[in-house]
A and B are shown apart, each in its own frame.
Chain A
Amino acid sequence: MLNRASRMRHSLIIAWSVAVVIFLYIPTVCIVLASLTASRYFQFPISKWGLDWWTKTLTSIEVRQLLTTSITIALLVTVVAVFLAFFGALAFARHDWKGRSVYQKIILLPIFFPQSVLGLALLLWFNTLGLPLSWKTAVFAHLVWIVPVVTLVISIQVYSFDPALEEAAYDLGASRWQVLKEVTLPVLFPGLFSGSLFAFLLSWGNFPLSLYTTGADTTVPEYLYAKMVAGYTPGVPVLGTISTAGAVVLLIGGYALITLLRRTRSTEQGGQDA
């Protein structure tokens, strides 16, 4: 089907994309390399390899505290964000109502907003309300940005949801709650799942919002930043590698799970793509 010119074009596109992917992963590779150095300062080519800094980092109480803070924030953000965004997505994509197109644009505004400025604005706002800054205010700050993102992610699933399914369930005698439990939630599950994955990972990797809103508590990205600016140790790349690896494992695991789920569903339901 392809003639020579378009095969040529396709090869160029593939080559270019491979180059861009390599560009994208250069820093990650560098971080991993740096974490495997035994010496105090990074020098390439690495003269002494070693895992010393890994042991040091993994046994450090400070690091454990950081991980606990980051994970706690991310988990709370996930739960609240998915709950809010579920209804948000129904209003975004499922229902036809008067204010919808305005609402859809309001949802986008926090995404189309410089995060560092948002972080400072929230700092000022918490101060105005007299709220002491801690990891709890950081949860709120993360939500301001993450709820809209998750709403969009779930909305994409909601768009493909046929409202007639709910009507059919009512018609067959289900109550409002039963419809939600038996029809809406299971059908939208893949969207909710990707939504929670997004929520967790975006919170896990967030820096600009955390920077101004965590107060005395510290998340992993904040700690790394502080160490980068002053007092580099190879513990920085080690923790960076852990943070990256955590995201990769979660993302690939989640992706595999969702693929598996879709596949079993489509075989059960005769090829209906969710």
Chain B
Amino acid sequence: MSPGFRASLPVVIFLLAGFAAPLIAVTWFSFMPARTFSFAGAATLENYRTIVESTSYISFLWSLGLAAVTVVLLAFIAYPVAYGLVRVFGKWSMLVTLLFTIPLFVSENIRLYGWVLFLIKNGVLLGTIKSLFGVQAESMLFTLPAIILGMVYVYLPFMLFPMSLGISMVPQDTRDAAVDLGASRWQVFREVELPLSMPGILIGCLLTFVLAVGAIAEAKVLGGQQIIPITHDIEIAFTYAQNWPLGAALAVLLMLVVGALVLLVLRRFDLDVLLGRR
């Protein structure tokens, strides 16, 4: 038994029991008859049939669409900051990193609630406008843009940090060499900087996409049930509807989408290079 294998055992065993087993259980459950709570029933595809015949696909599309929009917006919002962290801020970049890290450790629903207080009628934004200009503006709370704002806000650090890791992997020499060989700013970016930092950018996009597909609080807190994401459907099935097999089947479908995407992207990366710079 190699030392590496031995050292991996505690974590691997733990993840088998705490991650693999629950997912297997969920998958198994998705084949049980509707509204049952045991594993003993006869396997059936009934739950999947229910899903296909229902309007769940709308929730699926909302979740995937919102996640895609979030990723695209985040890529543009985070790139300049990530670039700044690596190349512009110098000794300040530690502080900036800290500023972006802190929110990660505060429960997202508290922070989203801060947005409610900001956006709500007579809240910080509209209250200020009213007292300054005497205008009573319409609140954007409980609209689609509010949900997107919340998602962009919550997942910003998850895009930023992998991205800056990726940018920091582009050696200064390589950029200098490109300039020296006649490349303009834009050409250096397109030919050298962007392709070489792509691993970090892709990891950031993948991470935010996956987390955003599983988002539930944003739609509830900021969207006021205007939009029902798939996670909400799953939660309903598990809780109010007490139809675990249906919820499990929905979860399996979501897991398939996420899993396929993750495996597809992660397969291409050498994590040693990304994390350890060997």
- Point out residues on A near B: beta carbons under 8 Å: 5, 10, 12-14, 16-17, 20-21, 23-31, 33-34, 42-45, 83-85, 87-88, 90-101, 103-118, 120-125, 127-128, 140-141, 143-144, 147-148, 151-152, 155-156, 159-160, 201-202, 204-208, 212, 220-221, 224-225, 228-229, 236-237, 240, 243-244, 247-248, 251-252, 255
Contact = CB atoms under 8 A, between A and B. Distances in A.
A251 B102 CA distance: 7
B61 interface: no
B48 interface: no
A116 B275 contact: no
A228 B278 CA distance: 48
A208 B217 CA distance: 9
Interface of A is mostly: helix
A111 B107 contact: no
Contacts of A251: 98, 101-102, 105
Interface string B99-139: 11111111111111111111010111011100100000000
Contacts of A12: 80
Contacts of B118: 26-27, 30
B69 interface: no
19 contacts: A13-B84, A14-B89, A17-B89, A17-B96, A24-B103, A24-B153, A28-B114, A44-B123, A83-B10, A87-B11, A90-B3, A98-B2, A106-B12, A205-B104, A205-B107, A205-B108, A208-B216, A228-B221, A237-B117
Contact of B96 (A21, A27, A118, A221): A21
A220 B107 contact: yes
A124 B248 contact: yes
B111 A100 contact: no
A45 to B, nearest CB: 5
B109 A207 contact: yes
A105 B266 contact: yes
B15 A147 contact: yes
Contacts of A21: 96, 99-100
Interface of B is mostly: helix
B123 A30 contact: yes
Contact of A96 (B4, B100, B122): B4
A72 to B, nearest CB: 17
B22 A27 contact: no
- Interface centre among A27, A45, A87, by most B CB within 10 Å? A27
Contact of B127 (A45, A97, A207): A45
Contacts of B116: 228
- Interface centre among A91, A92, A103, A117, by most B CB within 10 Å? A117
B114 A112 contact: no
Contact of A24 (B99, B112, B270): B99
A115 to B, nearest CB: 6
Nearest to B98: A255
A154 to B, nearest CB: 11
